[in-house]
A and B are shown apart, each in its own frame.
Chain A
Amino acid sequence: MKLDRNLSTEPSPDWDALGDALDILCPMHLRLTETGHIIHAAPTLCKLRQETDLIGRRFLEVFQLDRPRSITTMSELMARARSKLHMGFRKSPKTSLKGVLVRLPKGQGALVNLSFGISVVEGVQDYGLTSADFAATDLAIEMLYLVEAKSAAMEASRLLNKRLQGAKLAAEEQAATDTLTGLHNRRAADRTLESRADEKCEFALMHLDLDFFKSVNDTKGHAAGDHVLQEVAKVMRAETRKGDMIARVGGDEFMILIENETSREVLSDIAARLIAGIERPIQFEGDVCNVSASIGIAFNREGDLLGPDDLVQNSDQALYASKAKGRACATFFDDLGVPNKET
């Protein structure tokens, strides 16, 4: 109450008492003369700059006004009393500050209260400030707490995301399915082939490669190509038995493992139906795509049991022969007249 009376009735306030109170309430304030010279700097500001860099200097000589930028004279600054000011020190570190100026009555100059605003994080780092440098009511400490706590939580979340991403990739690595067609992928095909060969099962291995697929992809786009692959997969599912393994092992390359089947007649029939099904025109967005298939067939038979690599190689040679014959047909490795490798 005494302070209030001082301000309103005494011609000149008792700056010793008032100054002490203001230093506690506003530890980053300055008192200026009418001419804009700094005559008092509160304790926290004295940690930001040496006292000799403040006291006796002109306010606009120490600070550069960022907003409003047009202010270059003290009278212009006085005219902006009570409104928000953005400024920075002219000398490095050019910490940005916000502030507000109030004029004192009877030509006693002005008070400017300053604050770090959003730059508080850099501010406390640059000047090694502690809690005691902020007013007890200042939210700066809470803000710093939040920044630090949130950063720690974000970091933990970031690490979790990174690990989840790693786990996702590992799961994809382990996956046995081709995501486009829903068929098995190469890895699954290799595993199945290896286990069937190891178990000395009898089966036929069909190696199927689409004909004219590249031109669909090139002329009608990848979306059309993907659609064709999905339709072809449907044909293969329809023309094989449940339990037969169908895998997409390359871009337009497939392998079908037909269990317990070594009859040439049955396999010729399956191959013919596969080719006929695949040759049916495929509709895509009002357009028609035409592809066909070449097939090579190898056997794993009693008395002629092979390892998985040889089987794949045999079916591959037979497929190559079909391509050489003009595509859209199936060839048995047995008919190539190539002797099987001794195993």
Chain B
Amino acid sequence: MTYLGGELGQSMHGLINKAIEAFVIGTYGAESWALVAKGAELEDLHFESMLVYPKELTPKVIDCACSVLHADRADFLQNLGTYLVSQPHQQAVRRLLRFGGVDFVDFLYSLDDLNDRARLAVSDLRLPSLELREHTVNQFSLTVRSEMDGFGHVLVGLLTAMADDYGALVMLEYGGCQGDIETVAIALLETAFSEGNRFELGAMA
């Protein structure tokens, strides 16, 4: 099931699968994950972040999780996105995203480079390509080009949590999917709505 140096485009990085696993274990418990792993016929109970897996495995795991946990797929993916940045004991994703911008708008623009930034750290990690469009000073839309169906929902959850982190008040809406392109509408209501979380550059180093 695992193969090293898998052909690009045919494979999914273990980090993505591991994130799904962490979310299921953190939210629903280890026993639920064991059921998901069994249902998806995983060879090993746990994914390895630094290995590469066949591409088909990721949607299989997601579908299996939704059916085992009786969760709506969109809700499941959105909660996954929120989980990734809002876990107090798992700060890496939040912190790495915070490096992208000094405020929320700056951060939104940094999403254009998300894929490149991720590859600087893990050269074989392919994230969806994102493109931010500014319609007015506080109306944006994000186009998501992804092989992973429903990644837009993950982004809705992730951006909600990041807005909280920056202390910005936003409204996010999933704009649907056309082919492999999804859109997310972002309305920025207030940039300094709350204190947000402090971002110490040197906190983890």
Contacts and interface: CB of A to CB of B under 8 A. Distances in A.
Interface of A: 121-126, 128-132, 141-142, 144-153, 156-157, 160, 163
B50 A160 contact: yes
Contact of A129 (B51, B99, B201): B201
10 contacts: A122-B202, A124-B205, A131-B102, A145-B117, A146-B120, A146-B121, A148-B92, A149-B117, A156-B49, A160-B51
Contact of B121 (A128, A144, A149): A149
B201 A153 contact: no
A153 to B, nearest CB: 5
B96 A147 contact: no
A157 B201 contact: no
A246 B122 CA distance: 49
A145 B49 CA distance: 19
B95 interface: yes
B51 A148 contact: no
Interface string B86-120: 00000010011001001000000000000001001
Nearest to B122: A153
A141 B121 contact: no
Nearest to A133: B201
Given A148-B96, A149-B96, A153-B50, 20 more contacts: A121-B202, A123-B202, A124-B200, A125-B203, A128-B200, A130-B102, A130-B201, A131-B102, A142-B99, A144-B99, A144-B201, A145-B96, A145-B99, A146-B120, A147-B205, A148-B205, A151-B204, A152-B121, A153-B121, A157-B50
Contacts of B96: 145, 148-149, 152
Contacts of A128: 200, 202
Most A Cβ at <10 Å: residue of B48, B199, B200, B205: B205
Interface string B13-47: 00100000000000000000000000000000000
Pick the 9 closest A-B CB pairs, nearest first.
Answer: A149-B121, A125-B202, A124-B202, A145-B99, A124-B201, A156-B49, A121-B205, A131-B102, A160-B50
